[in-house]
Amino acid sequence: MFGHQYLSSRLAGIFLFLGLILLRVAAWADASQVWLFGRQLNWGCWFKEHYGFPCPTCGMTRSVILTMHGDFHNAFLLNPAGPFLIAGLLLVALIALRLPMAGLKEIKSRQLALGLSLYGWVFVCVMLGQWTFKLR
């Protein structure tokens, strides 16, 4: 029983890692464009087109991909929430790999729940903060 539950949490961690590796392999970006499987994506931000200034998530895709390719400087310049997101996902993947979720003691489950929800709010604050900074 315990082994089965331990396996499920490990599988979650492995899938998350594989997803990040797939993103690293399949996607490429520079400061202005994104390529997926070698094809350039011509995505535009409707908000920016319509109102003339960026939305809170502008640059997020490029920032996440650049982070995965190790270009932290440009990723941070595009949207600081990108590196923050990847760091959080890597941390969750590590926790899933190391800890058997079902076997967690009550106190640790509570810490994980509070930590994750706090991370969610901080992530939003980072995103809105950088947006406010860009609008100045």
- Provide the minimum distance between the beta carbon of 72 and other proteins in the complex, in angstroms, as a whole number: 19
Residue pair 53/74 in contact by the 8 Å Cβ criterion: no
Note whether 11 binds other proteins by CB under 8 A: no
Cβ-based nearer residue to other proteins, 39 or 50: 50
- Provide the minimum distance between the beta carbon of 30 and other proteins in the complex, in angstroms, as a whole number: 18
Q: With the C-alpha atoms ordered 80, 83, 86, 91, is the resulting torsion angle positive or negative? A: negative
- Provide the minimum distance between the beta carbon of 118 and other proteins in the complex, in angstroms, as a whole number: 7
Query: Which are the contacts of 63, defined by CB distance < 8 A and separation ≥ 6?
Result: 75, 76, 78, 79, 80, 81, 82, 83
SS3 27: strand
Window 18-47: contact mask with other proteins (x via CB under 8 A): -x------------------------xxxx
Residues 106-135 within binding reach of other proteins (CB under 8 A)? 106, 109-110, 112-114, 116-121, 123-124
d(CA 40, CA 29): 9
Residue pair 54/136 in contact by the 8 Å Cβ criterion: no
Note whether 66 binds other proteins by CB under 8 A: no
Cβ-based nearer residue to other proteins, 26 or 124: 124
